[in-house]
């Protein structure tokens, strides 16, 4: 054998690393549409992010007392660029709903208020965004959604807050990262939960 055990292990590691780097570059350099986002946290194991009356929620049922609620998919021109906007489209076909979507495809953008203390994340057009909100800065860090601040730091300050419905949480940005009663940190991922079949 030409290589010792350690040399062979190093070559295998480098081969695997170069494959991961090449595939992650390929996955993040093109326009992406139809992207579903799921939340993971202490009480949430892969629940989808959805639209309800302009706000972002986590779960599979609409909160009581809201008007328009719909499953969504995300689109962006470049998941690795903090300058790209993440817009949404209503995913009415997945629920068997044949009615017209509540908003035109890609007309609303995902936003957070990065300098707020604990503020709801949501969806809006340029004319309807709250003061201090941003619609760009979001990137994929592996399979996680991160926010890249003006200083270049990647921030993961998404939180879920309980609503008046079991199994439904509001999605918030917690700039300070301070503990909030009834809320906990979550990670937003493009990875769907594993479904076990027996």
pLDDT digits (tens, 9 = 90+) for 129-157: 999 999 999 999 999 999 999 999 999 99
Q: Is residue 103 part of a domain?
A: yes
Residue 27: pLDDT band (50, 70, 90) is very low
In a domain, 198, yes or no: no
User: Quick one: 117 and 20 in the same domain?
Assistant: no
State the pLDDT at residue 193: 94
Average pLDDT over residues 17-35: 54
CB 38 within 8 A of CB 193: yes
| 63 and 20 in a common domain | no
Supply the range of the domain harboring residue 164.
31-189
Is residue 195 one of the residues assigned to a domain? no
Taking every pair of Cα atoms in the chain, the longest distance, rounded to a whole number of angstroms, is 71
Task: Give the span between the Cα atoms of 44 and 7, in whole angstroms.
Answer: 43
Calpha distance 11→17 (Å, rounded): 10
DSSP-derived secondary structure letter, 181: T
For residue 98, what pLDDT is reported? 56
Q: Does residue 114 or residue 31 have the better pLDDT?
A: 114
| Distance of alpha carbon 33 from alpha carbon 47, whole angstroms | 19
Instruction: State pLDDT tens for residues 49-66.
Output: 999 999 999 998 888 888
Secondary structure letter of residue 102 according to DSSP: S
User: Is residue 113 domain-shared with residue 92, that is, in the same domain?
Assistant: yes
Residues 55 and 8 in one domain: no
Q: In terms of Cα–Cα distance, which of 40, 61, 55 is closest to 145?
A: 40
| Structural domain contains residue 196 | no
| Residue 158 falls inside a structural domain | yes
What pLDDT is recorded for position 179? Answer: 93
- pLDDT over 90 percentage in the chain: 63
Helix, strand, or coil (residue 142) = coil
Is residue 179 domain-resident? yes
Judge if 102 and 177 occupy the same domain. Answer: yes
Residues 38 and 55 in one domain: yes
Provide the number of structural domains found in the chain: 2
pLDDT of residue 76: 95
Judged on CB neighbours under 10 Å (0-12, 13-18, 19+), 146 is buried
Are residues 139 and 66 part of one domain? Answer: yes
Same-domain pairing of 22 and 45:
no
| The pLDDT value given to residue 144 | 97
Q: Does residue 112 sit in the same domain as residue 19?
A: no
157 and 86 both lie in a single domain: yes
Our CA angle for 70, 73, 75, nearest 5°, is 140
DSSP 149-165: -TTS-EE--EEEEE-SS
In this prediction, residue 97 carries a pLDDT of: 53
Q: Is residue 145 part of a domain?
A: yes
Q: What is the token pair recorded at 159?
A: 């939180």
Same domain, 66 and 117: yes
Tell me whether residue 43 is in a domain. yes
Q: Are residues 24 and 5 in the same domain?
A: yes
Task: Say which residues have a Cβ less than 8 Å from residue 136's Cβ, sequence separation at least 6.
Answer: 82, 83, 84, 85
Q: Which of 133, 129, 189, 187 is nearest to 157 (CA)?
A: 187
Average pLDDT over residues 74-80: 94
């Amino acid at each position: 054998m030409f290589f010792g055990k350690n040399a062979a292990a190093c070559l295998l590691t480098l081969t695997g690393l170069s494959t991961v780097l090449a595939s992650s570059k390929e996955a993040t350099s093109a326009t992406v549409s139809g992207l579903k986002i799921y939340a993971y946290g202490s009480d949430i194991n892969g629940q989808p992010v959805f639209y309800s009356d302009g706000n972002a929620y986590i779960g599979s049922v609409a909160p009581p007392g809201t008007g328009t609620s719909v499953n969504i998919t995300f689109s962006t021109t470049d998941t690795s660029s903090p300058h790209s906007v993440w817009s949404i489209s209503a995913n009415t076909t997945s629920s068997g709903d044949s009615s017209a979507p509540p908003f035109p495809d890609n007309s609303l953008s995902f936003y957070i208020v990065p300098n707020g203390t604990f503020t709801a994340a949501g969806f809006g057009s340029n004319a309807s965004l709250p003061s201090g909100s941003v619609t760009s800065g979001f990137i994929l860090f592996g399979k996680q959604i991160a926010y890249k601040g003006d200083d270049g730091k990647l921030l993961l300050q998404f939180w879920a807050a309980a609503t008046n419905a079991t199994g439904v949480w509001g999605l918030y940005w917690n700039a300070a990262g301070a503990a909030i009663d009834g809320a906990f940190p979550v990670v937003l991922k493009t990875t769907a939960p594993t479904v076990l079949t027996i």
